[in-house]
Amino acid sequence: MDLQTSILNALIINYGIIAVAWVVAVILQTEKFFDLTATGTLVFLTCKSLQWGEAQYPRQYIQSACAVLWAIRLGSFLTIRVWRKGSEKGFDGVRDHPFKFLAAWIMLGVWTTCNIAPTFIQNIKTAKEPIGPLEYIGWSAWCIGFVTEWVADHQKTIFKSLPQNEDKFITEGLWRLCRHPNYFGESLMWTGLYLSAWSVLEGWEHLSIISPLFITLLTSQATGRQQEKQNMAKWGNDPKYLQYLSDTPYYIPSIFKVT
């Protein structure tokens, strides 16, 4: 199957799943399977891209394993979290309005499309490029980002689970190095997967750089800023929180605070 046909089929599958999931979510008025839909679709399309490609090489399996491992880890984490909480505050006033809810689901489809782009294109192409330094740099960046996001999420989950930390903000572990280490790790992972696909990409295929750019902008300028706004509303009068804001980088961890 050629690349253009594969991309069209992937878009149809992606937004077809989104449409069905949205209808079910509207009927049930729930977002409990919101993140699971996106990560599950990414796993499915990654596997399909290996099937649609006319040849598979070690680089494709390594790249695909990275994408699938990310999806399983983050998808299960976010899904378990929302089922424990019962709902996400970000959907308040949205889940009751079908078309507002649809906008969120469409954005989820865009998120999936952007994330998978470099890996999907690489898997479809038949060019057997040797694995070189750029691939190892990209996969190493992915590993660092994966560990960073996983550790940051784990540290925050443990912190919030302790009764003595109720209504407190976390400043421990990776959260001492920057205010959004989980988002930084997310950005680093997709930057790494774009770099590791670089030698296979040609011409317009480099538009798949939208993957790291979109994720970085989303986590730093949208999700991150919204989280900061909520934190200010909650702890804006706390001198300790204001000091934390002053002393701690916003997005990129400070190497000077490691020691």
**258, 160: one domain:** yes
Written in H, E and C, the secondary structure of the chain is CCHHHHHHHHHHHHHHHHHHHHHHHHHHCCCCCHHHHHHHHHHHHHHHHHHHCCCCCHHHHHHHHHHHHHHHHHHHHHHHHHHHHCCCHHHCCCCCCHHHHHHHHHHHHHHHHHHHHHHHHHHHCCCCCCCCHHHHHHHHHHHHHHHHHHHHHHHHHHHHHCHHHCCCCCCCHHHHCCCCHHHHHHHHHHHHHHHHHCCCCCHHHHHHHHHHHHHHHHHHHHHHHHHHHHHHHHHCCCHHHHHHHHHCCCCCCCHHHCC
- Residue 1: predicted pLDDT: 75
Q: Choose one of 128, 154, 184: the last residue of a domain.
A: 128
Question: Are 118 and 147 part of one and the same domain?
Answer: no
Q: What does pTM read for this prediction?
A: 0.92
The answer on 257 and 134 residing in a single domain is yes
On whether both 136 and 83 belong to a single domain, the answer is no
Tell me, yes or no, whether 200 and 135 share the same domain: yes
Q: Are 86 and 198 within one domain?
A: no
Is residue 102 domain-shared with residue 154, that is, in the same domain?
Answer: no
pLDDT at 259: 61
Same domain, 142 and 246: yes
Statement to judge: residues 257 and 135 lie in one domain: yes
Higher pLDDT, 58 or 156: 156
Residues 181 and 219 in one domain: yes
**Does 255 lie in the same domain as 138?**
yes
81, 107, 128: which is the final residue of a domain? 128
Q: Are residues 77 and 166 in the same domain?
A: no
Q: Is the pLDDT of residue 243 over 80?
A: yes
Structural domain ending residue among the three candidates 77, 108, 128: 128
The whole domain housing 49 covers 1-128
Q: How many domains does the chain have?
A: 2
- For 205-236, write each residue's pLDDT tens digit: 999 999 999 999 999 999 999 999 999 999 99
Looking at residue 258, what is its pLDDT?
66
